[in-house]
Amino acid sequence: MAVGVLLWLLLAKGFVLETVIAVTFSSRIIHRFSDEAKVHLRNNGGENVQSWPKRGSSEYFRLLLNSDLTRQKMKLGSQDQSFYPSEGSKTLSFGNDFVWLHYTWIDIGTPNVSFLVALDTGSDMFWVPCDCIECAPLSAAFYNALDRDLNQYSPSLSSSSRHLPCGHQLCNQNSNCKGFKDRCPYIKEYTSDNTSSSGFLIEDKLHLASNNATKNSIQASVILGCGRKQSGYFLEGAAPNGMLGLGPGSISVPALLAKAGLIRNSISICLNEKGSGRILFGDQGHATQRRSTPFLLDDGELLNYFVGVERFCVGSFCYKETEFKAFIDTGTSFTYLPKGVYETVVAEFEKQVHATRITSQIQSDFNCCYNASSRESNNFPPMKFTFSKNQSFIIQNPFISMDQEDTTICLAVVQSDDELITIGQNFLMGYDMVFDRENLRFGWFRSNCQDSMGESANFTSPSIGGSPDSIPSNQQQRVPNNTRSVPPAIAGKTSPKPSAAKPGLNSWHLLNSLSLICLLLFW
């Protein structure tokens, strides 16, 4: 009997051990500078392993120390740091010459090359003209605002560039790939007619400077589009040197900087009435200085910068609507209102204006125009949005001048084809805006955009002559007689999804995830 019990216990113990073993997983840890790591990265199109230091050398230990310091900075540095492009935080608008969008200079690659990119909170993709098949003219002779040529990017000329493989989790064009190691293509289509950019995705260095007391600089890895072919308005003056998508998608530059631990997941953009401003990555502003309203989420996720609209007021009259939402979009030049709201606002504006309404002589989508000077427009009724929780957003610059003499003033709103309000750049001027993706809030406060730039900002443009003060300082935007009066809405103002879709969990991504388990020290 005792022998039987003993055998039963042994069998039970074996069964338990077998069961434990059956559900136990193991993983090998490989040192980032080991021979196995070299083989893995060489086979998967990774970094240049030939430059790795010899194990045990002083260079070997120096790199390990730098890696530790970088990780420590990732944990602590993002708490109080914000960054701006190394050329300076200054943003500029060149009016109709560059389709009314705001631009900033950024440097990418090794050696660094400067690009004048448009700022677009309505999309996620960052792209520049690259090894061009069909791109906008880059010669200064094509643009009134430039005194020297714009640059073209070429991955082969940057020692820090590498093609993003199709197996990467941020590659959204797997259906056009034949294998893991193929170059990841991209096609970004915008809502403006036949306007798009296409090419391949590249990983390279973005040069940034710190806005804090240390004034240190960094080179951050970002993903950009090698825009080999553009179409539509991109060939006619809109973003001829590239587009910097600042949306909440995982491929956008702010998202990549935040994921690397370099900044808080937030950006601030300030646009003043003189056509200039500034941008800061990682800036959450001061909660005591600003008003704020929550972003509207889609199934619990932040897909676009939507906010709820409760009222749109003209003078003392308020159009009340609790179900409208507004898209905060710096990539749209003017403001779009749904048909019902547009007709009501224009009719109410007409009642309160003591000026002669006229039809503009210039082909235009602006229908609410008056014979009045710039000074007389100051007597027009004030306008404002009321967002959720009764947060008022007063519109500082609702007009546009249709001639050089400022005698024809138009209300710069356009009737939309959908039920979405799009608040474009003209209504955003005069505010320091915080797109706080970490706390899912949009914040704003009145600013001339000079109070938060600091002495560290470099305002000298590497490619544009003249002083920033040479930009017209009149409060109204002006449309020249010899150009089109209404530029397109470049960003996807009606798209319910961001430009970079979330990666799906297909077999390639699953294999990549499993391989990362074995490379814990590779980051």
Q: Residue 426 has which token pair? A: 């003209």
**Exposed / middle / buried, residue 162 (Cβ in 10 Å: 0-12, 13-18, 19+):** middle
Q: Which of 107, 182, 204, 329 is catalytic?
A: 329
Q: Residue 269 has which token pair? A: 């953009």
Instruction: Report d(CA 434, CA 454) in Å as an integer.
Output: 17
Q: Residue 199 has which token pair? A: 């090419």
Instruction: Report d(CA 469, CA 99) in Å as an integer.
Output: 20
Contact 479, 106 (CB under 8 A): no
DSSP string, 96-149: GGGTT-EEEEEEETTTTEEEEEEEETT---EEEEEEEEE----SGGG-TT-SSP
Tell me whether residue 147 is one of the annotated catalytic residues: no
| Whether residue 111 has a cis bond before it, omega within 30° of 0 | yes
Q: Residue 424 has which token pair? A: 């474009």
Instruction: Report d(CA 494, CA 192) in Å as an integer.
Output: 11
Tell me whether residue 436 is one of the annotated catalytic residues: no
Helix (H, G, I), strand (E, B) or coil at 324: strand
Helix (H, G, I), strand (E, B) or coil at 390: helix
The residues pairing with 127 across neighbouring beta strands, listed in sequence order, are 225, 243
Q: How far is CA 460 from CA 18, 44, 53, 273, 447, in A?
A: 70, 41, 39, 20, 22
Q: Which of 120, 124, 182, 436 is catalytic?
A: 120
The rounded Cα 210 to chain-centroid distance in angstroms is 19
Count of CA atoms in the C-beta half-sphere (13 A) of 201: 28
Instruction: Report d(CA 242, CA 128) in Å as an integer.
Output: 4
Contact 248, 302 (CB under 8 A): yes
Instruction: Report d(CA 206, CA 509) in Å as an integer.
Output: 26
Non-local CB neighbours of 56 within 8 Å, separated by 6+ positions: none
DSSP string, 253-318: HHHHHHHTTSS-SEEEEEE-TTSEEEEEES----TTT-EEEEBPPBTTB--S-EEEEEEEEETTEE
Amino acid letter for position 479? V
Comparing CA positions, the residue from 447, 451, 360, 367 lying closest to residue 413 is 367
Number of CB atoms found within 10 A of residue 389's CB? 11
Residues serving a catalytic function are 120, 329
